[in-house]
Amino acid sequence: MGNTKVITIDGPAGAGKSTVAKALAHRLKFSYLDTGAMYRALTLKALREDVNLESEEDLVALANKTTIDLQGDTTAGLKVFLDEQDVSEEIRTIEVTNNTFYIARAPKVREIMVEMQRAIGTKKNIVVEGRDVGTVVFPDATNKFYLDANFEERAQRRIKELEEKGKDVEAEKLKAELQDRDNKDFTRKAGPLKKADDAVVIDSTPLSIDGVVDEMMKYIKNG
């Protein structure tokens, strides 16, 4: 891993990983790496190009001819570039969200994603968030966290976030989709969501963003 520091945050959808990872990176003056954005960007390209999502071989071929770049800082916001095109907004649609599992469950595609993530992580100090970043991508990370929150709280946070964007939300549908994503995240064979043995577990249910970051800072040396 060289001389760079890597702090990993894994956890289920809606636990607050992105918000917390950005806030922590900001405090530490580290870069921020959103690995989910990379899975989303490749999914978007597969949907655009009508690639057969069931075919691992086709997905590998697609991944091998794709560049995904994350730019920006934690204040200005992170921009996601797919083959040099800014797709930061498009990767957040429900269509992309509900189709990422095809990319996420394909072991050979994950290998390519993991290599891309390591290439970024060995260049600078980073806070990285995802599902397998403490277990598979950076097993020797400087600090590892597993951020959790109860299901109802995670669902309510998602609903609030969407409502704030002026979207109509069907609560029951959203909960069913979140449950489905949880099931897929926890049960896939390659890179499932799992707490690393040496990760510190933080339950964000009763905490504010700053509360979670303060808690993390207690574990980070010279932080």
Q: Which residues bind ligand DC (CB under 6 A)?
A: 13, 35-36, 39-40, 100-101, 104, 130-133, 181, 185, 191
Looking at the Cβ atoms of 174 and 223, the one nearer to ligand DC is 174
Looking at the Cβ atoms of 25 and 133, the one nearer to ligand DC is 133
Looking at the Cβ atoms of 13 and 28, the one nearer to ligand DC is 13
**Calpha distance 13→22 (Å, rounded):** 16
Q: How far is the CB of 141 from ligand DC (least distance, A)?
A: 13
Q: How far is the CB of 196 from ligand DC (least distance, A)?
A: 13
**Calpha distance 94→165 (Å, rounded):** 14
**Calpha distance 73→27 (Å, rounded):** 12
Q: Which of 29, 215, 23 is nearest to 126 (CA)?
A: 29
Looking at the Cβ atoms of 35 and 74, the one nearer to ligand DC is 35
Looking at the Cβ atoms of 153 and 223, the one nearer to ligand DC is 153
Q: How far is the CB of 19 from ligand DC (least distance, A)?
A: 12
Q: How far is the CB of 10 from ligand DC (least distance, A)?
A: 8
Q: Distances in Å between the alpha carbon of 217 and those of 10, 202, 214?
A: 16, 12, 5
Q: How far is the CB of 210 from ligand DC (least distance, A)?
A: 21
Q: How far is the CB of 184 from ligand DC (least distance, A)?
A: 7
Q: How far is the CB of 179 from ligand DC (least distance, A)?
A: 13
Looking at the Cβ atoms of 28 and 104, the one nearer to ligand DC is 104
Looking at the Cβ atoms of 5 and 181, the one nearer to ligand DC is 181
